[in-house]
């Protein structure tokens, strides 16, 4: 297994690095690096720039308008985008529902939905989790009853990320209660603006409106919006989650964030000397950095295996576990690095236009909220406890 980049891959890295430096709007870059709030317009504007270069859908086949990049190219692109401070691509359309439509959808669905994902016509949300059905997703209760040429959907979804921006949602719904619970689930594409759909904000502990509850009250969904075969949505769900868990590792973002922690800790602290001179804090930095290096090598092993035509196995769950734990560890280091300046939590500090008077340096103001927000990373995409079960089943057969 060769983990070194070829000369062609190194040339591609240089090309990406130069383009991102020249093309990433500075106002967007500032928001990302200073942990400011990103608007929908910011995200769409950047994704349109990426799409104009042909890099918004790097994993998509060329026949569908994607870049057709291999696993190594996608890894390099992600590394360079993250290092420069580009916003994370919203995955629900381009990286989650699109692969499902390509793999299980019919020709009409591919012709209609895929171009609209590329040109930002549609913003997708994910309708998986429900109250009482998170990691045990197969226990979901949202019902879709077939009535002629449409389904009638009733139920509730929870933790719908950025659902307030979405006009479409892909949902797992129960179309049968007679079969084994995994076999009675179907995969539906639904219009968020349809009568009977209600989106209610869930304000999280960091004070942000990032997630929502979505209620379906006799919502009519055309039968042609069914992806794949009725009752076989669990196959689509497992396929999609494999894509989601690998991406949650966020190696590139963690490398950028850890470098920023080091820069802050190298400055004079609230107590005088730079915190980086404290051997105990340096040991904490070293530990996270070593874990991050190991995570990156694991990611490169997965990339190398994909380059050789092998599908990810339990490594996807490994990347999810360690990646999210490292992300949480870095937020803890940020808090320690700024010391008492992290304690005053000012929600308005997330806004780039805010000109208030934070206690301490302005970059410290959003860090407490970021720490709180990142408590969720080890839960979504299948909790880390569930991932350990998956690993034990796939490797040990337990």
Please answer whether residues 186 and 233 qualify as being in contact, where contact means their C-beta atoms are separated by less than 8 angstroms.
yes
Catalytic residue list contains 315? no
Q: Which residue has tokens 């320690």?
A: 336
Q: Two tokens at 222?
A: 């055309």
Name which of 222, 237, 243 is nearest 104 in CA terms. 237
**346 φ, ψ to 5°?**
-115, 100
Distances 57 to 78, 117, 129, 252, 286 between C-alpha atoms, Å: 12, 9, 26, 18, 35
Q: Two tokens at 114?
A: 């895929």
Print burial letters for 74-91: b (CB count within 10 Å at least 16), e (below 16): bbbbbbbbbbbbbbbbbb
Q: 211 forms bridges with which residues in the sheet?
A: 202
DSSP output for 290-349: HHHHHHHHHHHHHHHHHHTTPPP-THHHHHHHHHHHHHHHHHHHHHHHHGGGGSS--GGG
Please answer whether residues 156 and 130 qualify as being in contact, where contact means their C-beta atoms are separated by less than 8 angstroms.
yes
The CA distance from 257 to 332, in Å, is: 12
Please answer whether residues 153 and 142 qualify as being in contact, where contact means their C-beta atoms are separated by less than 8 angstroms.
yes
DSSP summary character for residue 130: B
Please answer whether residues 314 and 340 qualify as being in contact, where contact means their C-beta atoms are separated by less than 8 angstroms.
no
User: Could you say which of 80, 210, 244, 296 is catalytic?
Assistant: 244
The CA distance from 245 to 19, in Å, is: 28
Q: Two tokens at 371?
A: 């720490």
Task: Label the pairing between strands 124-127 and 168-174.
Answer: parallel
> Which 3 state secondary structure label does DSSP give 201?
strand
Name which of 248, 261, 228, 370 is nearest 318 in CA terms. 248
Q: Which residues are catalytic?
A: 244
């Amino acid at each position: 297994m060769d983990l070194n980049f070829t000369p062609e891959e190194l040339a591609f890295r240089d090309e990406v690095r130069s383009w991102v430096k020249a093309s990433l709007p500075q106002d967007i870059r500032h928001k990302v690096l200073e942990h400011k709030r990103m608007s929908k317009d910011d995200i769409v504007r950047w994704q349109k720039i990426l799409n104009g270069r042909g890099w918004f859908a790097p994993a998509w086949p060329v026949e569908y308008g994607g870049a057709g990049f291999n696993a190594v190219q996608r890894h390099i692109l992600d590394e360079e985008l993250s290092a420069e401070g580009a916003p994370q691509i919203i995955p629900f359309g381009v990286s989650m529902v699109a692969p499902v439509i390509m793999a299980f959808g019919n020709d009409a669905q591919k012709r209609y939905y895929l171009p609209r994902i590329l040109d930002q016509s549609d913003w997708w949300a994910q309708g998986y989790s429900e109250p009482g059905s998170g990691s045990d997703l197969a226990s979901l209760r949202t019902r879709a009853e077939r009535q002629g040429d449409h389904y009638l959907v009733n139920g509730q979804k929870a933790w719908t990320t950025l659902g307030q921006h979405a006009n479409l949602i892909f949902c797992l719904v129960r179309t049968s209660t007679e079969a084994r619970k995994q076999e009675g689930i179907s995969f539906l594409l639904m219009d968020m603006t349809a009568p009977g759909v209600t989106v209610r904000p869930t304000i999280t502990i960091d004070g942000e409106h990032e997630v929502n509850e979505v209620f379906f009250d006799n919502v009519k969904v055309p039968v042609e919006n069914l992806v794949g075969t009725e009752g076989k949505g669990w196959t689509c769900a497992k396929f999609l989650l494999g894509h989601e868990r690998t991406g949650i590792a966020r190696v590139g973002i963690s490398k950028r964030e850890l470098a920023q922690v080091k820069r802050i800790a190298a400055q004079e602290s609230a107590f005088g000397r730079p915190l980086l001179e404290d051997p105990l804090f340096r040991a904490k930095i070293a530990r996270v950095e070593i874990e991050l290096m190991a995570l990156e090598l694991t990611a490169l092993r997965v990339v190398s295996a994909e380059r050789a035509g092998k599908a990810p196995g339990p490594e996807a769950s490994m990347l999810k576990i360690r990646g999210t734990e490292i992300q949480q560890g870095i937020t803890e280091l940020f808090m320690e690095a700024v010391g008492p300046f992290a304690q005053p939590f000012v929600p308005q500090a997330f806004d780039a236009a805010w000109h208030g008077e934070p206690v301490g340096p302005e970059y410290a103001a959003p860090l407490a909220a970021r720490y709180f927000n990142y408590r969720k990373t080890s839960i979504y995409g299948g909790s880390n406890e569930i991932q350990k079960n998956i690993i034990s089943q796939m490797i040990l057969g337990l």
